[in-house]
Each structure stands twice: as structure tokens, then as C-alpha cells.
Amino acid sequence: MTILLVLLVVFVIAALTILPKLKGGKGTERLPYRAKAILTDNEREFYGRLRQAFPDHEVFPQVSMSAFVEVERGLEKKERGSAWGRISQKTVDFVVCEKGTLEIVAVIELDDKTHAGKEDKDAFRDSIVEAAGLPTFRWKSKAKPTPEEIAKAVLHAGEAEGDPA
């Protein structure tokens, strides 16, 4: 009787261990992920300023560059892959778009302490956005403009450069 009980316990343990794997699942294994906020408190406050500055526009936070920049056609495979690799993992802080059409008006970066010492990377990122024909606006976190100043800078940028608006 004891041998039957031991065999039954071994069978139950084996079944509980093997069955989840046979189903293709990981059983009760915990995956090492957790949710996090899309924006820091500082970025969230600035997002509020952007929403005030652009009430007739859409403001999207933390946008992947690959969502709005593509590699030009006609490049050799290796060159195309290299160019894609430069943008595939990058994000920008905010993208301001026309309501309805979602045409991009501006890319906006908020430079906080995470940007310290990364001016070359920021300049390279800005050059990619500029090459795509889009304007980038950068503001220092410690000297954030008012919503009115943001709107004036972005919506009247062409006028400042002498372009008719």
C-alpha cells in the first residue's frame, strides 16, 4: 500500500510539472516584466504645457522614430540596414500633429538630466529628424517655456526664418 501511495505522489508531482510544458505554456513561471509610467513627472508636467499650447492639435508622447521616419529607397541592402539600425530603437519625447490628418507639425524634446553629456547623440537625432524634413524644438527642463511661448516658437517658426506663413 505504501508503494502505491509513493507512486501516486510521484505521478501527481510529475503531472503537475510536465503538463504545463506539454501545453506550450511556461506554467506558473513569472516573466520578469512590470508596467511603468510612460512619462516622468517632469515630462508629464511639460505634456500639460504642450496640450495648452496646442489645443487644436494632437500631442503624442514617447514616439518611436521608426513610426515617422523611414529609410529612403534605392540604398544597397547593407546601407539600408545600417540606416534603419540608427533609428529603430530611438524615441522622441513628443510629436505634435494636425488634428484629423495627423500631419506632423513638430518634434519636441525636453532636455533633462538624462541628456547631460549626450549633446552629440541629441544633435545626431535632430539631424535625422531634419533630414526627414521635420522641425525639432528643444527646451531645457530647468527653463521650460510657458504654453504661449511654446506655441509662438513652433507655430511661427517659418515666419522667424523669413518664410511666408
Q: Which pLDDT band, with edges at 50, 70 and 90, does 165 fall under? A: very low
* Closest to 155 (Cα-Cα) out of 98, 73, 78, 77: 98
> What was the pLDDT predicted at 31?
94
Q: Which of 1-10, 20-29, 93-102 has the highest mean predicted lDDT (pLDDT)?
A: 93-102
CA nearest 153: which of 92, 143, 116? 143
Assign domain 41-160 to its CATH architecture. Answer: Alpha-Beta Complex (3.90)
- CA dist., res. 61 & res. 96, Å (int): 9
Q: Would the pLDDT of 22 be above 70?
A: no
Domain boundaries in the chain?
41-160
| pLDDT (tens digit per residue) in 68-110 | 999 988 888 888 888 888 888 899 999 999 999 999 999 999 9
Residues 6+ apart with CB under 8 A from 88: 65, 66
* Residue whose C-alpha cell is 544597397: 76
CB atoms within 10 A of CB 89: 9
What's the confidence (pLDDT) of residue 158?
A: 65
